[in-house]
Structure 1
Amino acid sequence: MKTTIMHVGALALSLLASSVMAAVSPEEAAKLGTSLTPLGGEKAGNADGSIPEWTGGLQPGAAPVDANGFLGNPYESDKPLFTITKANVDQYKDKLTPGQLAMFQRYPQTYKIPVYPTRRSAAAPQAIYDAAKKSAVTTESINDGNGLKNFEQSHYYPFPIPKNGVEVVWNHEARYRGSNYTQVVAQATPQANGSYTIVEFRQDLGFPQAMPDVSLEKGANFLMYVKQEIVAPARLAGNVTLVHETLDQIKEPRLAWAYNAGQRRVRRAPQVAYDGPGTAADGMRTADNADMYNGAPDRYDWKLIGKQEMYVPYNSYKLWSPKVKYADILKPGHIDQDLARYELHRVWVVEGTVKPDERHIYAKRRFFVDEDTWAIVEADHYDGRGQLWRVGEGHQVLDYQQGASTYAAQALYDLIAGRYAVTGMTNEAKRSTQYGQKFSMNDFTPAALRNAGIR
């Protein structure tokens, strides 16, 4: 009997340890920067060389930067290796997502995928690599994966060597985005005939670790602070949203406020989360469609399906160029695919299924996450009937001056309505994203929200 009790006790301790020890061992973390890239991708290329070895990625000065700060295309001389169309799609379907295949069915005459040579451009500052390595051995998941513990010590990439699906999702949400910044971005939701109105936002992003008046203790449960003001069209201008994004949203839900310019009032905005409507998006996206996915992961059970080689949007500098106008991008049904660039990359595949006691308009969603940057580059969204409903494509670029992954544009296609939303375009902004902003908490309070919205 004493032996049995000892065995039960040992088992209990083992189970307890496994529930709290999400961090990897120092020996496993040592792979970062050796057999793995510093952020956790496979350093080696694939067997046939179509995915090359990672050798450090793009560095500052990789291409000319214009007078307004817009980055040039370091791969401008590249030509497509081939183009996938409805006529030849069956040859490549094993490397395409269900959403991409559905786009060929929905738009057989116009949707295409131009495939370019694979360039492993991903790079980040050494301090970010050091932070990822620290995260690997210190960060733990809590509340069934819905929060992070000890993450404030590193701030980025909590699980560079992930063991389950929710850890991959966290890497996307907590990836490096550069220092505090201000940018002007455009959104459009074209009708089926291609007509659209541009909605322009000015947005400020502040990170607690880069704000001197936010202590380590005070910022421990915060990922970022976001203030977003509509600046055009005139009928919407002056409306402002403020979000304090928390890490453990079970313990402390996302805090959000909205300032309505017409009423001149600041109100709490709990709808700015989950499947609440995206701002000024004509019902074409949800709040958690922003940045391809954002917010608490608690409404889904996340399954790690594994890694696959797939043709995904990558190095989309042509689409990002200030020489391209919004009218060049926005076409009936989908963006102009001649401006897009796809490459063969390894991606983590993660599937989220709504928990039985939760609700969301997307009953299931599947993410395809770039191994080198942890950015979601493709996303399939299914309705309650199990039907593929919306297809997301994140046209990723590396801001090589900052060493930060970002998007030239994010497109979300509604297969049923025949419409789509595009967010994050900066082509016609007067200047590029301004990094290094000296924000304080005073810039992210409800009072600041009111001041920003005064016209």
Structure 2
Amino acid sequence: MNVLKAAALACALAIGSHICLAEVSADEAKELGATLTPVGAIKAASADGNIPAWTGGMTTPPPGYVRKLAPGAYIDPFKDEKPILRIDSKNMAQYADKLSAGARELLKRNPDYYLDIYPTHRTAAYPESVYEATKRNATKCKTLQGGLSLDSVCRGGIPFPIPKSGYEAMWNHLVAYQLPVSLHNSDVLIVDTAGHPYLASEVDGYMEMPFYMGDKRSDPDKYNFVDFNFTNPPRSRGEIVTYADYLDPVKQPRRAWSFDPGQRRMKLAPTFAYDTPAAPSAGTSFFDDTFLFSGAMDRFDFKLIGKKEMYVPYNTYKLAMQCVGEKALKAHTLNPSCERWELHRVWVVEATLKAGMRHAYSKRVLYLDEDNPAAGMADNYDGGGNLYRGLFVYPFQVYDASSPFGAMYSVFDFVKGNYSINVMLNPTGYYDFHPKIPDERELTPEALAGSGND
């Protein structure tokens, strides 16, 4: 592995532990905004210049942009660029060290599949309030209970811009900034083992991050809340799945509810976590596969390996906004002409199943973008150590709101031979990044039960 020199790696090697307890010093924190970006990424370009320096990200819409709720609303600022490299099954060995195991497996199994590599653009940018909170968090924020919980003083910014352990890097991922409130109408599409696509679910989704909402929410320990209202297929219309995650999942595990329109009542759903098959994806992924990893970390030991350069999906405006629905799908892969891959530096985190714990995965390897910890890839392995699933997030920068956004994610099952693409716009779908923030009373289980469609 071509691991870059990083403080986290040095700490992990020196102590030889998956939990490095060294705190960020005031001198280290001074590098935020200097040699490091305000969220802790290396500001400078790579030695060969293939990864450019970060110069502030993308905060201005391109010419012609008009805010609207429709596919294609966010213009691709790089639509005229051409690939600088194409990787396929014939030349993949040459670039293997920069490809995830999942990407290599897709190329190996599908000779007609390829990765078009485009010039790297470090578009990630955040509101100034997030930068200020991140700098404060750098010296004050800490994990508790062996990394499983996050101190409630960590608010409003990336908690660990200079992560020293796998748990800190994972908390950066779990609470990564992606707009405090957003709405979407989108699909989960499944391509079965025979290569046939079908609709698993269409949902009106609501997502909020109380972690970034200041005093607008009453519970200071809730960091994430989602509500999915199923509108299709007809058999699922009116069903609701909703859950909330907390900074101390040991004390307060995920609170989840489901609404069955036939029974007309909202029920607690304690199984909507870990490796329970996720209802919105028709069971083709687990609840903790959501956007690479979701929920409590107590079943795995998380080790920070370090940082390296890898090819990752990035600036995926075309996939998110133009290749909507089945245009994006082929029999066993996404349509490679819709994808965009770039070379970026990522944090590598290895999660190993703890002794005595149960999970369908024995190991997970996560690759988290240094500029946007919500973006990246994951390789998940079964109990025999074989590659089980490859996961990919497809991000773009919401340039009229100074926010990165993980638009959708895919899960490729290498055992069953199927795959899913989740939170994908349909031809009439939309993302709304500027909605009115609802009153907290509108988000109670009782209120949400009344919002289902019959």
Q: Normalising by the residue count of structure 1, what TM-score does the alignment of the two structures yield? A: 0.91
TM-score, reference length from structure 2: 0.91
Distance in structure 2 (CA, Å) of the matches to 1:320 and 1:427: 10
- Alpha-carbon distance, 1:357 to partner: 2.2
- Structural mapping, 1:20-35, within 5 Å: 23-35=23-35
**Partner in structure 1 of residue 145 of structure 2:** 143
Corresponding residue for residue 136 of structure 2: 134
AA of the residue aligned to 1:295: G
Q: C-alpha distance in 1, partners of 2:67/2:401? A: 17
Partners of 2:335 and 2:45 lie apart in 1 by: 31
State which drifts further: 305-314 or 24-33. 24-33
Is residue 261 of structure 2 the alignment partner of residue 257 of structure 1? no
Question: What is residue 289 of structure 1 aligned with on the other side?
Answer: 289
RMSD, aligned CA: 1.9
Look up the match of 2:366.
Answer: 367
What corresponds to 1:355 in structure 2?
A: 354
**Are 2:276 and 2:286, in contact at CA under 8 Å, matched by a contact in 1?**
yes
Return closer, same or farther for 1:113/1:436 CA change in 2, 3 Å cut-off: same
Residue identity (%): 35
Counterparts in 2 of 1:357 and 1:156: CA distance versus 1, 3 Å: farther
Sort the Cα spacing of 1:60 and 1:179 in 2 relative to 1 into closer, same or farther, 3 A.
farther
- Mapped partners of 1:157, 1:430: distance in 2: 30
Output the CA distance in 1 between the equivalents of 2:379 and 2:109: 15
- What SS does structure 2 have at the residue aligned with 1:418? coil
Question: How far, CA to CA, are the matches of 1:377 and 1:20 in structure 2?
Answer: 23
- The answer as to whether partners of 2:183 and 2:431 remain within 8 angstroms in 1 is no
Q: 1:129 to 1:436 in 2, by over 3 A?
A: farther
Instruction: Report the structure number with the largest CA radius of gyration.
Output: 1
| C-alpha separation in 2, matches of 1:381 and 1:331 | 23
**2:226 matches 1:223:** no
CA contact (8 A) 2:156 2:213 kept: no
Change (3 A) 1:189 1:431: closer
Runs of 4+ in 1 over 3 A off after TM superposition: 19-23
Equivalences for 1:57-68 in 2 at 5 Å? Answer: 57-66=57-66, 68=68
One-letter amino acid matched to 2:28: E
Aligned partners of 1:406 and 1:104: how far apart in 2? 26
Q: Deviations over 1:231-279 (max 9, x none)?
A: 1111101100121211110011111111011221211101111111112
The SS at the match of 2:280 is coil
2:446: which partner in 1? 447
Contact 1:121 1:398 in 2 (8 A): yes
1:389-428 per-position Cα deviation (integer Å, ceiling 9, x unaligned): 1001111211111222223331110112111011011252
Query: Which moves more between the two structures, 48-57 or 62-71?
Result: 62-71
Q: Take 1:453 and 1:420, find their aligned partners in 2: how far apart are those partners?
A: 28
Report the residue type matching 2:138 in the other structure.
A
Aligned to 2:232: 232
Structure 2 contact 184–429 (Cα < 8 Å) conserved: no
The answer as to whether partners of 2:156 and 2:214 remain within 8 angstroms in 1 is: no
Task: Report if the CA contact (8 A) 1:136-1:158 is conserved.
Answer: yes
Aligned to 2:334: 335
Structure 1 counterpart of 2:166: 165
For 1:159, the aligned partner's letter is: F
Shift of 1:54: 0.6
Answer yes or no: is the 8 Å Cα contact 2:152–2:221 preserved in 1: no
Task: Could you tell me which runs of 5 or more consecutive residues in structure 1 were left unpaired when the two chains were aligned.
Answer: 1-18
Q: Is the 8 A contact 2:375 2:406 kept in 1?
A: no
In the other structure, the counterpart of 1:405 is 404
Q: Shift of the alpha carbon at 1:327?
A: 1.6
SS for the counterpart of 2:367 is strand
Provide the C-alpha distance between the structure 2 equivalents of 1:374 and 1:224, rounded to a whole number of angstroms.
Answer: 16
C-alpha separation in 1, matches of 2:133 and 2:26: 14
Amino acid at match of 1:314: Y
What is the aligned length? 432
Contact 1:63 1:73 in 2 (8 A): no
Question: SS of 1:426's equivalent?
Answer: strand
Tell me, in whole angstroms, the C-alpha distance in 2 between the residues paired with 1:385 and 1:190. Answer: 26
**Matched residue, 2:275:** 275
**Secondary structure of the structure 2 residue equivalent to 1:99:** helix
Structure 2 CA distance for aligned equivalents of residues 347 and 136 of structure 1: 19
| Matching residue's letter, 1:104 | L
Q: Distance in 1 between matches of 2:190 and 2:80?
A: 32
Unaligned runs of 5+ in 2: 1-18
